[in-house]
Structure 1
Amino acid sequence: MKVLKNNVTKIILASLIFPIVLIVVGLAVRKGSANSIWQALGDLLVFVIAYLLNWKYFRQRVYWFNGNKLASQLNTALPAIIIIVFLNSAMFAVPDFKVKLRVIVICLLVGLAEEYIFRGLLVSLFLKLLHNNILGAVIGSSIMFGLLHLINLRSLPIGYVSVQVIFAAALGILFGTIYIKTHNLSIVILLHALRDMFPMFSDKMMAQVSKMTFSIASLYVTVVFLVITLVIANTQLKNFEIQKE
């Protein structure tokens, strides 16, 4: 069918893999089951399905690792590294902070699944849809990444989720810029995992997060953060061209 070959259709279908699989897994899991184990299996299942669909249907080249000019790659990733270090720095002062292997594995799987879909697949699909408009592709894939977090409406109020959506889109802009410039998905997977895991090293912090409510101040701060990431992306991608292969 011609409609299935359309890049818009592919973008929509790729974006739906994560929420559909997680909803199905959530319905299949019995109450009282170990949530962390099912979360890890769900993320792994998302990646496997996305990988197989890419092999048979999406057919996008994913750049897993690039060993060339690593110093330049790290320089590209530096703004994201600084932001993630800043966001996570307060965690070292939390009394019950404790590194947990289970959390590291879960966050790496989340990073693998989400970055494979939203950077590895969607950035490439948006580049084709927008005729190699690089900034447009980064923003487009980041919007879809932000909208993914609407699935949290099942358990969180809309105000708080709206902040999550904007914050995720902002991070996606940083990660998309890094991926396009470095051709190295491993960097963004690691950065994604590092951003997610530090709050999870504290049970008290996770309990507080689950009780957080919407505030207009947090919305303003998140919008400012979004603007900052747009400026960073525009600066880094200015005059950058996709190399023909």
Structure 2
Amino acid sequence: MFLLGLFVLVPIVLSFASVVSHIVFHYSSLGYVTNGEAAITEIIAFGVFWALNRFYLKTRVSWWAKIDRNWLWGLALLIVLVGDATLNPQFTLTVGAIVWALVLGVVVAIFEEYVFRGLLVTTLRAHFGMSEFWTALWSGIVFGLAHTVNVLQSGNLLDTIAQIMQAVGLGFFLAALYLISNNLWLPIIGHAIIDSFDQLAFGTLSNAAGTSLLTGIIYAIVFLGLGVLIIKTHADLPKATPHQHVTQRSREKMDFNRKTNESASMKMAFYAILIPIAELIFGTLLSIPFHSKLVKVIIVDVVFFLGFLAAIWLFKDVLKRDWQTFKLHFWRGFFLDIGAVVITYLLLPAVRMGLNLFIHTSSAAGGLDVLSVQTAGLALVASLTTLMAPFTEEIVFRHAWFYQWRNRGIVTWLMLILSSILFGLFHWNNFNGDVTQMIPYMVVGAWFGLIYYWSKNIWQNILTHFLFDFLQVLAALFVLVMTLLHAAG
């Protein structure tokens, strides 16, 4: 899930960087600068990952090291220049074009090599103890798959497949270079030369030009072979040990097989279930006398906030205890949670399609219609409940009504089923009481329960749920920003 999490995080960060860059260029006098927006996007994205590593991941990326004659392997990248030169290039050799080609080539190379070689390769070696071959292979695969989003830009599936194959081969080769040289600048320079050449030759770094299925296959085969040769001829590479940069205390904290002696409390479960019931009842009743949509939304937000505080207070000991464990490997858990969110978003439509085979289910009860008639600001205020729900719902439905009943045989799994059903029913207002539409959320509740059961840490669940719900807040924020931009324009 770490690999999947990184695969998902890269396009999210790039999308964020692209929006910021677009806003900057839209409101400044820089709009005429060709390719400037793309360059700033890559710089912002690099800054995000650098800050992520600097303050949290703390992965030791090796930028400088004596490379001796290992740099000669990089000459093999000339194969790409020769191959791309056969794809009908249209060189633009003005001073401006050359400068921008170099700038784009360098910033793209720094960002991608830092993420896919610097962070990914180092993490796979240091924390997962992978061999040189598997480390380089996973680096190439994730790097290749990260290019799948380019199909949205070019609309050409075959060219995208060709680019993915090329990226897998080159990613494997560049990872091998990084492993033998311990110098990130070696793959950066090679990568930058290729991208600068393609920018000059085709005027773009997308797969809309300068890509063919034949060259993609050739590059994949050649550079996979060269990468294997590099690894085989450098058998003296230091062997990786799982968690070699993790302290003994951290290893103990990350033991998912640890036993707990916490007893179940029916009283606490009863108190906990009162929270969502009160939210549903009082959130509805207290807003009835008011006609203003904004007032109604604020009342619901306040009611959910009080429920959030009550849940935190009732189970503060559990939250504090598990946080001491979770914070020691926060970003590993974060990447795992991104993978879990992806599975959740695949699970929801799969369950809905399965239900449609047996029963007719209508669409969500006016969810999109509500957003269409509300102002963007009102939608953003209404979405604030989704920031509190992960805490309240995971405490109530996953901890109080499932996890505290673990190690009790059949009772454990009966409580998983019961808590999942209750979780689905809690979304009553979302679907105007249509129980059939709540079934997918019951399945998601069971999935979240299994995450808690396997991880033994409630923060793993809270963060998964938070990331899942946070997309709604981002959507509301995006609508608000676009509305403001439209009004300003």
Same fold (TM over 0.5): yes
Describe the SS at the equivalent of 2:59: coil
Structure 2 CA distance, aligned partners of 1:123 and 1:56? 19
Return closer, same or farther for 1:38/1:135 CA change in 2, 3 Å cut-off.
same
How far 1:69 moved relative to its partner?
4.5
Which of 10, 15, 32 is matched with 1:23 structurally? 15
Unaligned runs of 5+ in 2: 245-489
1:227 aligns with 2:225: no
Structure 2 CA distance, aligned partners of 1:145 and 1:211? 19
How far 1:198 moved relative to its partner?
1.5
Amino acid at match of 1:118: F
* 1:62-81 mapped onto 2 (5 Å cutoff): 62-66=61-65, 68-70=66-68, 72-80=69-77
* 1:113-128 mapped onto 2 (5 Å cutoff): 113-128=111-126
Retained in 1: the 8 A contact 2:159–2:207?
no
Retained in 1: the 8 A contact 2:101–2:199?
yes
* 1:1-245 mapped onto 2 (5 Å cutoff): 8-9=1-2, 11-27=3-19, 29=22, 33=31, 34=33, 36-66=35-65, 68-70=66-68, 72-80=69-77, 82-87=78-83, 96-98=92-94, 100-128=98-126, 130-156=128-154, 157-202=156-201, 205-206=202-203, 212=209, 218-238=212-232, 239-242=235-238
Structure 1 CA distance, aligned partners of 2:85 and 2:152? 30
Retained in 2: the 8 A contact 1:132–1:242?
no
How far 1:104 moved relative to its partner?
1.2
Residue by residue, what CA displacement relative to the aligned partner does 1:184-221 show, whole Å, maximum 9, x if unpaired? 1111111111100113224xx337x875598xxx4244
Q: Give the TM-score taking structure 1 as reference length.
A: 0.79
Structure 2 CA distance, aligned partners of 1:35 and 1:119? 29
Structure 1 CA distance, aligned partners of 2:169 and 2:150? 18
More moved, 140-149 vs 50-59: 50-59
Retained in 1: the 8 A contact 2:74–2:190?
no
Residue by residue, what CA displacement relative to the aligned partner does 1:63-116 show, whole Å, maximum 9, x if unpaired? 1011x253x222332323x3244246669x856434521221121111111000
Residue by residue, what CA displacement relative to the aligned partner does 1:115-165 show, whole Å, maximum 9, x if unpaired? 000000001122246523101100101111111111212221222111111
Amino acid at match of 2:191: H
Amino acid at match of 1:180: L
Q: Give the number of aligned pairs.
A: 229
Describe the SS at the equivalent of 1:224: helix
Retained in 2: the 8 A contact 1:21–1:42?
no
Return closer, same or farther for 1:118/1:213 CA change in 2, 3 Å cut-off.
closer
Structure 1 CA distance, aligned partners of 2:179 and 2:112? 16
How far 1:13 moved relative to its partner?
3.7
Structure 1 CA distance, aligned partners of 2:98 and 2:107? 15
How far 1:229 moved relative to its partner?
1.5
Amino acid at match of 1:236: I
Retained in 2: the 8 A contact 1:112–1:189?
yes
Return closer, same or farther for 1:210/1:185 CA change in 2, 3 Å cut-off.
closer
Unaligned runs of 5+ in 1: 1-7
Structure 2 CA distance, aligned partners of 1:213 and 1:132? 34
Structure 1 CA distance, aligned partners of 2:215 and 2:208? 19
* Identity in percent: 21
Residue by residue, what CA displacement relative to the aligned partner does 1:27-76 show, whole Å, maximum 9, x if unpaired? 4526984561121111111111111111222221111011x253x22233
Amino acid at match of 1:75: L
Return closer, same or farther for 1:95/1:233 CA change in 2, 3 Å cut-off.
closer
Retained in 2: the 8 A contact 1:17–1:46?
no
Describe the SS at the equivalent of 2:35: helix
Return closer, same or farther for 1:96/1:77 CA change in 2, 3 Å cut-off.
closer
Amino acid at match of 1:14: L
Q: Name the larger-Rg structure.
A: 2
Retained in 1: the 8 A contact 2:101–2:196?
yes
Q: Which has the higher contact order (CA 8 A, sep 6+)?
A: 1
Describe the SS at the equivalent of 1:235: helix
Structure 1 CA distance, aligned partners of 2:174 and 2:210? 27
